[in-house]
Structure 1
């Protein structure tokens, strides 16, 4: 079913970006509970799944996440990069009527039989905080670098080409159609769910764990939101080389500078500009760094995107002055 997001002139002017640690935590749980996820996340899944073994709120989490998920699990961030604590406060502050309506729809129970919102939301917030600390926080630095780099690229597109250019490149399932945004296919009779922004605007959230899909909040209470797959996700979990024998060529000013720059995903051309060397020289150094398991590369058409691995981050941190 297609989703049509209707805009007013005011809401078009209020398109913005945000990163959501709470949203990523919920989507990560959905993968671990066996109800979603792409093969690209399997290296992370293997290490993360055992960390959920002693979570006593798994029945509650599974009930809410296993199928269509309630919108109250995804409060729209009020700032570009909120803290997990700030988002959990938004979760706890979910309006009672909205909670009961969403809870009832997801679990298939009458609204009047939905539990007391405050108690359930408190339990959820505590459980999601624990899950974030175990599953997301150890990787959040790299994840956030990927997400913020994506926001930076999209923002430039918005500045250079406007809303039309932004939506044209955001995802193949998103189309700007005669002043309306259509997600997941073409509009046909009786197959469109309509979301009205009501002048509140639209928040675009790059996502790691929703990759490679697009997600739309179909029942927003304020701003509408779309979660789209961030570029560079395929670089996050790529395993480094199995031995340390390739580390010897890493030493040197240029390669150290490359590792420093690759805290965020960058192209060969961008690295060449940043370091003031030729693209061919960048490629040679990157080849050595890949051989040492310190850089991962993902190709998209003619463009190669590079990011340092977790091993490189550790090496760089202990070696930096």
Structure 2
């Protein structure tokens, strides 16, 4: 099914970009429960499954996440990068009638098996707080680097090509038409669901755990929202094995500078420009760093993106930002 987000001229002027730690937690839990996600996240899921064992809120979250996703779980951020705790507070304060309506719309008859809206929000909020601390927080530094790097790329696309150029780069399923944004689905071809932005504009959000799909809020209460796959997601969970002589090969100023720069996904030309060295030299150094298990590389189309591993971050003496 296609979704058309109608935007007036005033709403087009309110298009913005943001990251949602809460949404990444919800979608990550969904992947860990085995009711969504993609194989690219399998290394993380194997780790998360152990942390889920014994989680008292898991059955309730499974009931909410194994089908259509209720919109109340995804409040639209008011700022570019809100704290998880701030978003969770918004979730806990959601209008109870809206929660009940969303559960009925998403779950149908199964909604009757859920606790009332007040208890539901309390239990869901407590479970997400625990699972964020266990599952997401240890990896949030690298996830945030990927998401913020994506925001930077979209900002450049906006400067270079305006909103039309920005929309054109988001995803193959996203098409800008005058007066609205159309997101093409893979089911029920021919039917169209219309979403009104209600005067609040549109928020575009890169997502790690939504990858590789586009997720649209069908019933927004404030701004309309589109969550699209962040570039560089495939780099996050790769854990290459170090060679016996690898660490000896990474010593040197240029390689240290490469590791420092690769806190975000970058291409070989990007690195060459930043370090003022030739692309060929960058490629040679990256080969040595990959051999030491300090850099991962993933090709997307014609572009290869590089990102340092958690081992490299530890060696640099950096801590993940929370």
TM-score (norm 2): 0.94
In the TM superposition, what is the alpha-carbon distance from 1:108 to its structure 2 partner? 2.1
Partner of 2:233: 233
Q: Determine if the alignment matches structure 1 residue 202 to structure 2 residue 196.
A: no
Say if 1:8 and 1:198, in contact at 8 Å, map to a contact too.
no
1:111–1:275: structure 2 CA closer, same or farther, 3 Å change rule? closer
Consecutive unaligned residues of structure 2, counting only runs of 5 or more, are none
- CA–CA distance in 2 between the matches of 1:190 and 1:268? 42
Partner of 1:100: 100
- CA–CA distance in 2 between the matches of 1:6 and 1:133? 37
Partner of 1:6: 6
Say if 2:146 and 2:265, in contact at 8 Å, map to a contact too.
yes
1:273–1:97: structure 2 CA closer, same or farther, 3 Å change rule? same
In the TM superposition, what is the alpha-carbon distance from 1:302 to its structure 2 partner? 2.6
Partner of 1:127: 127
Say if 2:114 and 2:120, in contact at 8 Å, map to a contact too.
no
- CA–CA distance in 2 between the matches of 1:318 and 1:5? 41
Partner of 1:311: 311
- CA–CA distance in 1 between the matches of 2:256 and 2:122? 46
- CA–CA distance in 1 between the matches of 2:28 and 2:42? 11
Partner of 2:35: 35
- CA–CA distance in 2 between the matches of 1:214 and 1:111? 25
Say if 1:30 and 1:66, in contact at 8 Å, map to a contact too.
yes
In the TM superposition, what is the alpha-carbon distance from 1:106 to its structure 2 partner? 2.6
Within 5 Å, give how 1:117-196 maps onto structure 2.
117-185=117-185, 191-196=191-196
In the TM superposition, what is the alpha-carbon distance from 1:300 to its structure 2 partner? 2.2
Q: 1:299 is paired with a residue of what secondary structure?
A: strand
Q: Determine if the alignment matches structure 1 residue 58 to structure 2 residue 58.
A: yes
- CA–CA distance in 2 between the matches of 1:295 and 1:11? 41
1:304–1:288: structure 2 CA closer, same or farther, 3 Å change rule? same
- CA–CA distance in 1 between the matches of 2:29 and 2:110? 26
1:114–1:39: structure 2 CA closer, same or farther, 3 Å change rule? closer
Consecutive unaligned residues of structure 1, counting only runs of 5 or more, are none
Q: 1:220 is paired with a residue of what secondary structure?
A: coil
In the TM superposition, what is the alpha-carbon distance from 1:185 to its structure 2 partner? 5.0
- Greater shift after overlay, 98-107 or 169-178? 98-107
- CA–CA distance in 2 between the matches of 1:183 and 1:318? 39
Q: 1:104 is paired with a residue of what secondary structure?
A: helix
- Greater shift after overlay, 120-129 or 211-220? 120-129
Partner of 2:83: 83
- CA–CA distance in 1 between the matches of 2:241 and 2:203? 38
State the Cα RMSD in Å: 2.0
Deviations 1:193-236 (A, max 9, x none): 00010221101110000101100000000100011000000000
> Aligned pairs, how many?
318
- Greater shift after overlay, 32-41 or 214-223? 32-41
1:86–1:7: structure 2 CA closer, same or farther, 3 Å change rule? same
Partner of 1:44: 44
Partner of 1:268: 268
Say if 1:6 and 1:180, in contact at 8 Å, map to a contact too.
yes
Deviations 1:73-104 (A, max 9, x none): 00001111011100001101111221110122
In the TM superposition, what is the alpha-carbon distance from 1:109 to its structure 2 partner? 4.0
- CA–CA distance in 1 between the matches of 2:292 and 2:242? 9
In the TM superposition, what is the alpha-carbon distance from 1:314 to its structure 2 partner? 1.3
Say if 1:100 and 1:114, in contact at 8 Å, map to a contact too.
no
- CA–CA distance in 2 between the matches of 1:47 and 1:85? 23
1:198–1:316: structure 2 CA closer, same or farther, 3 Å change rule? same
